[in-house]
Structure 1
Amino acid sequence: MSVLIVIPARYASTRYPGKPLAELTGATGQSRSLIERSWRAACAVGGVDRVVVATDDDRIKDAAEAFGAKVVMTSPHCANGTERCAEAHHVLGGAYEIVVNLQGDAPLTPHWFVESLVERLRGAPDAGIATPVLRCDGAALNGLLADRKAGRVGGTTAVFSADNHALYFSKEVIPFIAETFTDEQATPVFHHVGVYAYRPDALESYPTWPTGPLERLEGLEQLRFMENGRAVLCVEVEAKGRAFWELNNPEDVPKIEAMMAQMALE
């Protein structure tokens, strides 16, 4: 099955304008933009036929081409990354059998997260979309709770059924947890990793559906699939000792740089 990775990137983020071009310093002092680090993470994934950056902004286009990425220009009217991926796939001829959306704010995404996701989607012919979830340890859960207490969205959490179909995604921490956990303890909370793998029919249908009330309230694009009766397959992935966090707010920059230093990532 041919696999395309699309990295959707827009400049006009509400919470963090210009986020794709934010600089992150690695363990050796090397400074690279967020979009370049996300592209490098995508290029490390095995079994992929093509990686492209999809954007509507010339500043991102110029920066991406300068470090060697292939760029697909898309409409400024794309409401989210899934719509941008759908348009990019169409521009490229629509011939890929699996399209992966690796969002441009996730430079710490390990290659095996994406590889596991593609493998599971290949083995589930009835599924149109799959996305990874990562069980939080106490430290990660406390980080999510601290962000919410401070009025920030630190990440998205997911709950799913026994057959791994998503029940809901939220920027709140779900399910409600009354107990406390030590940093190393496993918790019942799953952090949703902002990566998606789509079959072309599901991806092509997505822009034709209206934005539903849950997607509008949460600001989570994957809820549009669920609001239109499409099952979302949750794939549990393993951290294998790697720290994971997405860059959602300016306050996340030092946190991610500290994680990169800890993991000796350049």
Structure 2
Amino acid sequence: MSGEPSCTRLDRVIFMSTKSAILHAAAVATALAAGYYYYRRSATVFRSRVVGIIPARFASSRFEGKPLVEILGKPMIQRTWERAKLATTLDRVVVATDDERIAECCRGFGADVIMTAESCRNGAERCSEALQKLEKKYDIVVNIQGDEPLIEPEIIDGIVKALQTTPDAVFSTCVTSLKPEDAFDPNRVKCVVDNRGYAIYFSRGLIPFNKSGKVNPKFPYNLHLGIQSYDSEFLKIYPDLTPTPLQLEEDLEQLKVLENGYKMKVIKVDHDAHGVDTPEDVAKIENFMRERNLS
């Protein structure tokens, strides 16, 4: 038996428990203060300075070298950059890449290029790194997918304005009507929203899914368009958020935002989406452009 009086041992137990409780309370208070500061910042500061970033990587598992594929004589990344430059809400447009071949191509047609690490796991992380390398400060970052070479400038402006007018959201994106033939295509991401226009869920499968297991021709399914914008302060912390189960299962970065409790504003637009996910999509988009005399 220890010679230490039982009351002394009890005092030490009480002291250690109290110390742990104080440290825990301090940590909670710090987190709450940080969250309150972020909420107040978002709620009171108009997010006016906007940069568009086009993340581009060469080593794509589905379509290697995709940004450099030619569409009617121009690299796809150039077509995306030219469309983005027409948006009225963007103060600047840059390409963020980890590949010198893409960088050289982009500099050749006049684009600003930011080199980023190969370790970036998705477009949002590449945008985050590029943002912190820019010499100027921005309030909103628009992640413009390089595989939507016919993206409409009005859509870029729409998601920027959606984020500017929704202070409790840290993220905004858009959807359009899903074509029945794309219902079960895992490359066409689907989205459901609530009555206030906030995202509920994204999936590569058809959502909502009914008991018949078939497409309901009367239901207005939503197709997610890859373009999205972020509050710049949120984007800085995004890479440090732990990957979430739904994000990993669906391989969709938007789900990490939702699973961590952040709000995402969604607008619906009328857009004939022509994303390039596979080499076969190149011929489809070229035929579409020829039919409509789009150069």
TM-score range, shorter chain: 0.7 to 0.9
Cα distance, 1:255 vs structure 2: 1.5
2:264 maps to 232
RMSD: 1.5
Which stretches in structure 1 are left out of the alignment for 5+ residues?
26-30
Query: Once the two structures are superposed, what CA deviation does each residue of 1:85-135 show, in whole Å capped at 9, x if it has no partner?
Result: 111110004611111000111111111111111111111111110001112
1:156 maps to 189
Q: Indicate the SS of the match to 2:64.
A: coil
Cα distance, 1:19 vs structure 2: 0.7
TM-score by length of 1: 0.88
Q: Does 1:11 align with 2:75?
A: no
Cα distance, 1:143 vs structure 2: 3.3
Task: Output the amino acid matched with 1:254.
Answer: A
Alignment of 1:136-215 (within 5 A): 136=178, 140-145=179-184, 148=185, 153-176=186-209, 178-179=214-215, 181=217, 187-215=219-247
Q: Does 1:263 align with 2:292?
A: yes
2:32 maps to none
2:68 maps to 21
Q: Give distance in 1, aligned partners of 2:136 and 2:250.
A: 30
Higher relative contact order (CA 8 A, sep 6+): 1
Shift of the 142–187 alpha-carbon distance from structure 1 to 2, 3 Å rule, reads: farther
Q: Give distance in 1, aligned partners of 2:207 and 2:108.
A: 41
Higher strand share: 1
Cα distance, 1:196 vs structure 2: 0.8
Contact 1:55 1:74 in 2 (8 A): yes
Cα distance, 1:180 vs structure 2: 5.6
Q: Give distance in 1, aligned partners of 2:183 and 2:290.
A: 21
Identical residues among aligned pairs (%): 39
Query: Once the two structures are superposed, what CA deviation does each residue of 1:25-51 show, in whole Å capped at 9, x if it has no partner?
Result: 1xxxxx111111111111111121100
Alignment of 1:65-84 (within 5 A): 65-84=107-126
Contact 1:94 1:200 in 2 (8 A): no
Residue 250 of structure 1 is aligned with which of 279, 287, 294?
A: 279
2:96 maps to 54
Q: Indicate the SS of the match to 1:192.
A: strand
Contact 2:183 2:215 in 1 (8 A): no
Cα distance, 1:57 vs structure 2: 0.4
2:84 maps to 42
Task: Output the amino acid matched with 2:243.
Answer: T
Q: Give distance in 1, aligned partners of 2:52 and 2:289.
A: 23
Contact 2:80 2:147 in 1 (8 A): yes
Q: Give distance in 2, aligned partners of 1:194 and 1:60.
A: 20
Q: Give distance in 1, aligned partners of 2:81 and 2:253.
A: 21
Q: Indicate the SS of the match to 1:251.
A: helix
Cα distance, 1:155 vs structure 2: 1.2
Contact 1:155 1:248 in 2 (8 A): no
Q: Indicate the SS of the match to 1:193.
A: strand
Q: Give distance in 2, aligned partners of 1:234 and 1:219.
A: 20
Q: Give distance in 1, aligned partners of 2:86 and 2:60.
A: 26
Cα distance, 1:79 vs structure 2: 0.6
Residue 220 of structure 1 is aligned with which of 238, 252, 272?
A: 252
Higher helix share: 2
TM-score by length of 2: 0.79
Residue 153 of structure 2 is aligned with which of 95, 107, 111?
A: 111
Contact 2:56 2:146 in 1 (8 A): yes
Task: Output the amino acid matched with 1:49.
Answer: D
1:28 maps to none
Contact 2:51 2:142 in 1 (8 A): yes
Query: Once the two structures are superposed, what CA deviation does each residue of 1:216-248 show, in whole Å capped at 9, x if it has no partner?
Result: 111111111111111111111123xxx222111
Q: Indicate the SS of the match to 2:105.
A: helix
Question: Number of matched residues?
Answer: 245
Q: Give distance in 1, aligned partners of 2:173 and 2:158.
A: 10
